Amino acid sequence: MKISNDIKYIGVNDTKIDLFEGQYKVPLGMSYNSYVILDEKVAVMDTVDAAFTHEWLDNLEKALGSRKPDYLVVQHMEPDHSANIANFLKNYPEAKVVCNAKTVKMIEQFFGESYEDRQLIVRDGENLSLGRHTLTFIYAPMVHWPEVMMTYDSKDKVLFSADGFGRFGTWDADIPWDDEARRYYIGIVGKYGVQVQNVLKKAQSLEIDVIAPLHGPVLKENLAHYISLYDIWSSYAVEDEGVVIAYTSVYGNTKKAAELLSDKLLYSGVKNVVLHDLARCDMSLAISDAFRYSKLVLATTTYNGGIFPFMNEFIHGLVERGFRNRTVGFIENGTWAPVTARQMNKMLEECKNLTLCENTVTIRSALNDASTAQLDGLCKELCSGWEQTGK
Ligand code: FEO
């Protein structure tokens, strides 16, 4: 794949991977992107996962023709991108590693040596001329590790964005970008909204025609859309109005309540209502939907005097990613001691700017007239404010 006359794609698609980062389901695979810039000097942008050493080195050799690389720019040390640094340096003994001081320490930790005589340490904002192309390094700490930097090529106006703007799925997977990019962003970088905002501010002054991330497709069109989504996600703003109902159910009674609430909301005209059975759905999708929509209802049973395990995991996933700025309602179920509304509320205490619904639904074993009336109250409260907007 050609990015420009001088920049070629040399990454790989991983179609056999089951869990990315050991936890995220990726039914459409994953790509580990790498690029080469062929100028008077030749720069390679990152390596790929250890499972693809030979394919990547072959891709690189083919792109180089008779030339040899001068630099390996290491933007990120997570092994899905850095695993082949030592192999590269062995294959190309004249090449130098371009990185920052934090990267050097990690290279030593991963490879047992820091290749001191082969380092070119760059500072934030520093330039490196390749000839026609000048690379500017933009530190992006915690997007998604502390050593991360992005790289801007002012000639072809390409932002090499490291993990930023990546998405699950092979680079050529024929899927809309937004959903798998959101699941990727919220899952992996969601905790670091402030740091992403800082990078977006730095990027504002750059003229960008192409975003070349380390995962997923190279973005060449409609960049304002992708940047705007990153701005929404990293500022924890609402992307779409709607209600997510996340539930766990043992014998189906809590599920019935969740589904009845969904029906009532839809009947009231709410356009977006999303149900997630937390024991069976992809947890990372449920979490990313909670960040996508404006309102969330948590419905769960009491179990061992506490919250049912999958709901515990879900709420923990929200809290550790900085969930905030949303409306939250509760449905609790317990045959002799329903206590989970209070406990879920407590788990969410550190989340900023949550509006908690006044109408909590308490079910004792199964829905009855009283708890159904409470559901009506919760439905009405969730719909309030949407009467004029068409929901
Ligand atoms: Fe794709 Fe943070 O590694």
Report the alpha-carbon distance of residue 202 to residue 224 in Å, rounded. Answer: 15
Q: Is the CB of 163 under 6 A from ligand 1?
A: yes
For residue 355, which phi and psi values (nearest 5 degrees)? -100, 115
The amino acid at 146: P
Q: Is the CB of 167 under 6 A from ligand 1?
A: no
Q: Is the CB of 80 under 6 A from ligand 1?
A: yes
Report the alpha-carbon distance of residue 151 to residue 138 in Å, rounded. Answer: 6
Pick the closest to residue 100 from 82, 128, 76, 79 (CA basis).
Answer: 76
Instruction: Please state the rounded mean pLDDT for residues 306-316.
Output: 97
Q: How far is the CA of 381 from the centre of ligand 1 (A)?
A: 41
Give the distance, in angstroms, between the CA of residue 369 and the centroid of all CA atoms in the same chain: 42
Read off the pLDDT of residues 131-178 as tens digits, 9 standing for 90 and up. Answer: 999 999 999 999 989 999 999 999 999 999 999 999 999 999 999 999
Q: How far is the CA of 78 from the centre of ligand 1 (A)?
A: 5
Read off the pLDDT of residues 85-123 as tens digits, 9 standing for 90 and up. Answer: 999 999 999 999 999 999 999 999 999 999 999 999 999
Q: At what angle do helices 283-292 and 309-320 cross, to 10 degrees?
A: 50
Q: Is the CB of 391 under 6 A from ligand 1?
A: no
Instruction: Please state the rounded mean pLDDT for residues 290-298.
Output: 98
This prediction has a pTM of: 0.96
Give residue for tokens 């999958």.
Answer: 310
Nearest CA to ligand 1 atom 1: 163
